[in-house]
Amino acid sequence: MIRTDRLILRHARPDDLEALHEAFSDPRAMRYWSGPAHHDIAQTGRILKTLIAPDPDRQEEYVLECDGRCIGKAGVWHRPEVGYMVVPAFWGRGFAFEALSAILPRAFARWPEQAHLTAELDPRNEASSRLLEKLGFVCTGVEEKNFLYGGVEWTDTAYYRLDRPDQPSGTSL
């Protein structure tokens, strides 16, 4: 568990399902995700299972709890890739930044051989682009029309990288 000024970052529990489904079933939250909004809570349940029983070699993910309520998730979901999701009612308050600011140093400490962390996003998601850049990530490129969203729309992908703070930029371990 990690405590920040406003959040408790903790391991997921079965009772987080409804709160996480609030995010994963919201078309606004899922617009730039890997697929459309979940219509069935079982879809969110499958994600929750991976949060409850993560692969310790690949994952370091946390549920974001604010005032006793699950408001999203953040962490390294598939090393070295970082991901996050916040319930839309809590957008614009800096919760993802606060959570990732605590998680990123822990990820580098946990995997000392990891020279960098990455993130991918739809470049139209300007709020996430700003968040990553505020955290020190650098956009390393954009690939056009390489992701078929929901089977109906080709979208672009922007690739971001955050080098280990004690590692000179552009080198690997």
Residue pLDDT, tens place only, 47-88: 999 999 999 899 999 999 999 999 999 999 999 999 999 999
Overall pTM surpassing 0.85 (yes/no): yes
Concatenated DSSP letters for 95-149?
A: HHHHHHHHHHHHHHHH-TT--EEEEEE-TT-HHHHHHHHHTT-EEEEEEEEEEEE
What tens digit of pLDDT does each residue of 98-155 get? 999 999 999 999 999 999 999 999 999 999 999 999 999 999 999 999 988 887 889 9
Specify the higher pLDDT residue, 167 or 103.
103
